[in-house]
Structure 1
Amino acid sequence: MSIPRPAAEVWPAPSRPDRPASDTVRPLNMANGFTLWLVTGYAQVRQALSDPRLAKDSHTTAQLLRDRSIQAHQALFGQALLHHMLNTDPPEHRRLRQMVNKGFTQRRVQALRPRIERITDDLLAAIGEDGPVDLIEALAFPLPITVICELLGVPEADRRTFRSWTNAFVLSVEPDVLQNALTSLDRYIHDLVAEKRRSPGDDIISGLVTEDGEDALTDDEVAAMAVLLLAAGHETTVNLIGNGVLALVTHPDQLAALRADRSLLPGAIEEFLRFESPVNQATLRYTDEAVEIGGTTIPAGEFVMINIDSANHDPERYPDPDRMDLRRDAGGHMAFGHGIHFCLGAPLARLEAEVVFGRLLDTFGGIELALPVERLEWRPSTLMRGLEKLPLRMVRRP
């Protein structure tokens, strides 16, 4: 069963390019008059994600927006909280990333397995069988937000408030709602950084504020990094869990295969990431010089949107791409990006998914949708691909 996908929010292309656009690279006019270039297709997306001429510096982005009189975004891109490693280029990107890399080494991530298993078991134990359960609320959200907040040292009482702020970044909200969320988060996160500097603990934020040397981060840089890690560290994993479970329950033959052969689990997680990527689009880039992609030249100074979903469903890379197959070699998918901005938290997301799907199958002998798949609602986001709710009927094993 294929999962319904909403129609792309696309407007007629302008007539200003110097040469005709190809099928994979074309200019678009958005509803607010914002013009950008859309890159689709596996080879084209992979090139765009790794091409240094597609830049991400937040200060230049703000200036380009001002030049185009895009008022809604000017104040946002001028905010210090948005100047983090995802919105910077080398050499600054390299300095910022290497400072936080040590918090996400393979060894440190694997050391989290017992804690992730304990949190997952507690959440699953709390699920009743009296009626449908929303898996997003019961499991997919609380697990990753708990893990990333513990890693960064965010107090438990503040975690749900934090999610309401980060939701504004990834959902399609009004500019004033986004600005208010950013202002509240700015105040909160700077207070938290100041507290960690006064009384450091065994967490990533404390490690960043106590780092010495010429590459040490300023408080503004630590705050921006914390916001990025908190938002990216749970939003994508929420979607990975929700989308993956939906894919399984709408493909009962694949669910049965995974139950029968747990050695399929690592490959299944990669197929979930490919088949229904947690991220629709890569974050915004701009060309700092003319760039040819897919036979089309994008002029300098243009904004570029890179479509992750199209790469993961390109039949030239993945035959019969709209068929979910847990035995498929889904390696090389673009769900975590590519190039220097490849997702720092990918090992943690994979570990959380491995624990969740394994424990779900261990705990519940029956898992099915509690309403028709056509009635599921997807979050209103251009950037992310995730469900508002995932109502399931679940029957525990005897």
Structure 2
Amino acid sequence: MTTTEPRTYPFNSAEALDLDPFYAQLRKQEPLSRIQLPFGEAAWLATRYEDAKVVLGDPRFSRAVAVDRDEPRLRTRKSMSGGLLSMDPPDHTRLRRLVAKAFTGRRVEKLRARTQEIADGLADEMIAKGAPADLVEDFALPLPITVICELLGVPFDDRADFRVWSDAFLSTTKLTPEQVTDYMERMWAYIAGLIEQRRREPADDLITALIAARDEEDKLSEDEMVQLAAGILVAGHETTASQIPNFTYVLLTHPEQLAQLRADLELIPRAVEELMRFVPLGVGAGFPRYATEDVELGGVQVRAGEPVLVSVASANRDESVFENPDQLDFAREEASQIGFGHGPHHCLGAQLARMELQVALRTLLTRLPGLDFASAPERDVDWKTGMLVRGPQRMSLSWQG
């Protein structure tokens, strides 16, 4: 199946959560293949689990090189330069260390009670209003937005603005290039204004802590601080807000596993890990790594200077690692899923996202008995389009009582 001409990528439609079966063919016959995204130079695509971990974790593969290259990408605009995702150690390590302490397992567990309180409040409002309800607007979006706003110190009343602005970070075709630039600039100006306010009126939040690192320890430039805060704000809610309805959709379309969870809520942490493995969140691979020297990978010689993209969704379905990978199995004992990434750029907020997803599932299963689609999936779910991530933009649900 080897081809010399790059294949058009991504393979699958952005709608729904099905993973294109062509990935399975590539894993078996051409684990490292040439692809061409809508924008940027051609690249290699890694589809196997072990190869993915090498690209994501080996220092011979660099993110920083992409800043000066026409990196392969799904949208016109390149990734934001200067952010954590465009850095290599030690610069990346320096910035990551400044905010990592806010996302440790211990700190996140302290947030669990508050997160549960927020989730219960949202469930109360859904119950009071009555079914059907839109899971996205009524629960999935406000839950992580409220948590990250409180953690950062962003006024919750401004959430409508930065929800719109955050689309600029994830849009492929939903927004025009001019809109993307405009929204990003508005968000950066907004964050810069918050920083100035916190300088005058410090608070017990992450923005104040970043200011201390900038003004007292001189470890953070002004631009780095603005981009860090903006990145945390977007990443801190968007992925979880997409995965809550994604997980709910998968459970409602897998009634046996849903019944299993309802019968034993202690399975929820394992269910979250398995759902992270099972759900292909990204429309396609992104954030290429560039080889800094010749590297043997997947039976191919990747030359120094060539970009490699990782299909996390394909790696999480690798049959050489996961038994019956296309089945949802809460008893799975194999290797860890890499839905939160791997290596230096492993998701900074992974523990926060895990906790929020656990709280969300527990709340939905206990507070809304008999949760189901209001009528049928094809009528009750509208899928996002023109975005880097997949998921419902509307999900109409009902429940008993």
Contact map agreement 1:22 1:295 (CA 8 A) in 2? no
1:355–1:152 distance in 2 versus 1, CA, 3 Å: same
1:213 to partner: Cα distance: 5.9
Show the counterpart of 2:12.
Answer: none
- Superposed CA offset, 1:275-326 (max 9, x none): 1143453533222333321111222223322111001111111111111112
Partner SS state of residue 400, structure 2: strand
Partner SS state of residue 389, structure 1: strand
Please give the alpha-carbon distance, in whole angstroms, between the structure 1 residues aligned to 2:208 and 2:377. 44
1:95–1:8 distance in 2 versus 1, CA, 3 Å: farther
Contact map agreement 1:39 1:306 (CA 8 A) in 2? yes
1:84 to partner: Cα distance: 2.1
Show the counterpart of 1:13.
Answer: none
Please give the alpha-carbon distance, in whole angstroms, between the structure 2 residues aligned to 1:71 and 1:322. 29
Contact map agreement 1:236 1:279 (CA 8 A) in 2? no
1:22 to partner: Cα distance: 6.0
Contact map agreement 1:267 1:329 (CA 8 A) in 2? no
1:331 to partner: Cα distance: 4.7
Contact map agreement 2:17 2:279 (CA 8 A) in 1? no
1:150–1:72 distance in 2 versus 1, CA, 3 Å: same
1:351–1:106 distance in 2 versus 1, CA, 3 Å: same
Show the counterpart of 1:17.
Answer: none
Partner SS state of residue 388, structure 1: strand
Provide the TM-score with structure 1 as the length reference.
Answer: 0.87
Runs of 5+ consecutive residues of structure 1 not aligned to the other structure: 11-20
Runs of 5+ consecutive residues of structure 2 not aligned to the other structure: 1-15
Structural mapping, 1:266-305, within 5 Å: 266-279=269-282, 281-305=285-309
Structural mapping, 1:156-235, within 5 Å: 156-173=156-173, 174-211=176-213, 216-235=219-238
Q: Percent identity?
A: 39
Partner SS state of residue 176, structure 1: helix
- The worse-fitting range, judged by mean Cα deviation, of 96-105 and 384-393 is 384-393
Q: Find 1:253's aligned residue among 247, 253, 256.
A: 256
Please give the alpha-carbon distance, in whole angstroms, between the structure 2 residues aligned to 1:384 and 1:327. 27
1:263 to partner: Cα distance: 1.8
1:131 to partner: Cα distance: 3.9
Please give the alpha-carbon distance, in whole angstroms, between the structure 2 residues aligned to 1:289 and 1:241. 40
Please give the alpha-carbon distance, in whole angstroms, between the structure 2 residues aligned to 1:71 and 1:311. 23
Partner SS state of residue 120, structure 2: helix
1:62 to partner: Cα distance: 3.5
Please give the alpha-carbon distance, in whole angstroms, between the structure 2 residues aligned to 1:163 and 1:292. 42
Please give the alpha-carbon distance, in whole angstroms, between the structure 2 residues aligned to 1:303 and 1:381. 24
1:213–1:288 distance in 2 versus 1, CA, 3 Å: farther
- Superposed CA offset, 1:233-273 (max 9, x none): 11111122111111111111111111111221111111111
Q: Find 1:5's aligned residue among 18, 32, 36.
A: 18
Matched letter for residue 390 of structure 1? M
Please give the alpha-carbon distance, in whole angstroms, between the structure 2 residues aligned to 1:260 and 1:208. 44
Provide the TM-score with structure 2 as the length reference.
Answer: 0.86
Structural mapping, 1:52-131, within 5 Å: 52-57=59-64, 60-65=65-70, 72-73=76-77, 76-77=78-79, 82-128=81-127, 130-131=130-131
Matched, 1:41 2:48: yes
Matched letter for residue 320 of structure 2? E
Contact map agreement 1:336 1:342 (CA 8 A) in 2? yes
**Aligned-pair Cα RMSD in Å:** 2.7
1:384 to partner: Cα distance: 2.1
Partner SS state of residue 112, structure 1: helix
Give the number of equivalent residue pairs.
Answer: 376
1:134–1:331 distance in 2 versus 1, CA, 3 Å: farther
1:378–1:52 distance in 2 versus 1, CA, 3 Å: farther
1:113–1:194 distance in 2 versus 1, CA, 3 Å: same
1:161 to partner: Cα distance: 1.0
Contact map agreement 2:75 2:171 (CA 8 A) in 1? no
Show the counterpart of 2:11.
Answer: none
1:9–1:368 distance in 2 versus 1, CA, 3 Å: same
